[in-house]
Amino acid sequence: MALLLAVLLAFFVLPWPWGLLAIAGGIAVETVELTWGLRLARRWKPGTGAEAMIGTDARVVARCRPVGQVRVHGELWQARCEEGADVGETVRIEAIDGLMLVVRPSTA
């Protein structure tokens, strides 16, 4: 956007040497903005997918002894809990095995 504004100023408003400086300034601003944006994008990790579910809590909706169902983020998933969990308990997702969640009773 800064580069577009600089080009418009250079061609329609500013005299010859100042127009060139406006374009150089627009290029500099765009370069700094691009560098800053790329640095921010590298810091943020995606919050979706199977990897993002590991470590989150889920609510048991069908008894897990050892296989049952849990609700996580509004979705129903098949779950396996070796320790066992009853309806209404909170469990923590430890791993994902295909389309089945491996869960453990939550300590909190």
Residue 105 has φ and ψ, to the nearest 5°, of -55, 135
Where do the domains of the chain lie?
Answer: 2-43, 50-105
Beta strands in the chain (DSSP E): 57-62, 67-72, 75-80, 90-97, 100-105
Instruction: Please give the pLDDT value at position 16.
Output: 82
Check whether the bond before 46 is cis (ω within 30° of 0).
Answer: no
Instruction: Please give the pLDDT value at position 57.
Output: 95
Homologous superfamily of 50-105: Nucleic acid-binding proteins (2.40.50.140)
The more confidently predicted of residues 44 and 99 is: 99
Q: Is the pTM of this model over 0.95?
A: no
What are 32-78's pLDDT values in tens digits? 999 999 999 888 876 777 778 999 999 999 999 999 999 998 999 99
